[in-house]
A and B are shown apart, each in its own frame.
Chain A
Amino acid sequence: NAGVTQTPKFQVLKTGQSMTLQCAQDMNHNSMYWYRQDPGMGLRLIYYSASEGTTDKGEVPNGYNVSRLNKREFSLRLESAAPSQTSVYFCASSEHLQINEKLFFGSGTQLSVL
C-alpha cells in the first residue's frame, strides 16, 4: 500500500495563476484533509471531507476550493494564486473523522507563488 500520495512535490506559480493539488489514498479511509504548514504556525486546516460527498471549511479556507472526487481522491484548487499562499501543503486521511482520528499524511507539496 502506498498510503497517501500527493502530486506534485514541488510547484512554482506566478501570482494569478491557478493550479490543482492532487491527493489519493489507498487505505479505504472515509475522511480526508488538506493542511498548510508555515514556519512558526504549525499545521492549519484548510478544508476537510468527513466522508465521500461532503466537504467543509477548516481554519483558513479563503482562496481555496476542494473536490472530493470519490472515496480515494481529494483535490485542492487555487483559483488565483497569491504570494501569501506560498507554503507546504499536506494532504491527510483518517479512517473516520469521529471514530478513528489518527491522521496519515502525504509527503507534502512545496508551493512557491512569485
Chain B
Amino acid sequence: GENVEQHPSTLSVQEGDSAVIKCTYSDSASNYFPWYKQELGKRPQLIIDIRSNVGEKKDQRIAVTLNKTAKHFSLHITETQPEDSAVYFCAARDSSYKLIFGSGTRLLVRP
C-alpha cells in the first residue's frame, strides 16, 4: 500500500522567512496530493492540493510542487507570519482512493 514520509518533523523559522516541508510517496499510481493545516487544538483543514497532471500550484503565500518521477512533493510558505504556526500534514491518495497522511511537521514562526 501507499506510504508517505514527511520531513522535517519540526521546523522553526524567523517571521518573514520561507518554510519548506517535503514529502515522498511510494505508490506511483497516486494522483492527488493535498496539504492540511492543524492549529493547536483545532481540526485539520485543507489549505492547498495538487493533482498529478500539474507540476506546481500557488495560492498567495503558499505553493506546492510535485515531481512525479522522483515521487516527492513539497509545500512552500513565503513571508511567514506567526499565524502560520501549526502542524502541517501532507497526504497522497492511493490506488483505492483513500488518503494516506504523512506524520506531520510542526512549524513555529518566531516573531
Contacts and interface: CB of A to CB of B under 8 A. Distances in A.
Contact of B98 (A40, A45, A90, A106): A45
A105 B38 CA distance: 11
Contact of A58 (B46, B93, B98): B98
Given A101-B97, A102-B34, A42 B43 contact: no
Given A40-B9, A101-B93, A106 B43 contact: yes
Interface in A59-82: 59
A97 interface: yes
A105 B43 contact: yes
Interface string A40-54: 111111001010000
Interface residues of B, number: 23
Contact of A48 (B34, B42, B45, B98): B98
Nearest to B51: A101
A51 B44 CA distance: 22
A87 interface: no
A40 B103 CA distance: 6
A29 B75 CA distance: 28
A84 interface: no
A102 B46 contact: yes
Contacts of A13: none
Contacts of B101: 35, 42-44
Contact of A105 (B32, B44, B102): B44
Contact of B104 (A35, A42, A102): A42
A58 to B, nearest CB: 6
Contacts of A107: 42-43
Contacts of A105: 43-45
Contacts of A101: 32, 34, 49, 93, 97, 99
A98 B32 CA distance: 11
A84 to B, nearest CB: 18
A97 B98 CA distance: 7
Contacts of A45: 98-100
6 smallest CB-CB distances across A and B, nearest first, come from A105-B43, A42-B103, A43-B101, A42-B101, A97-B97, A42-B104
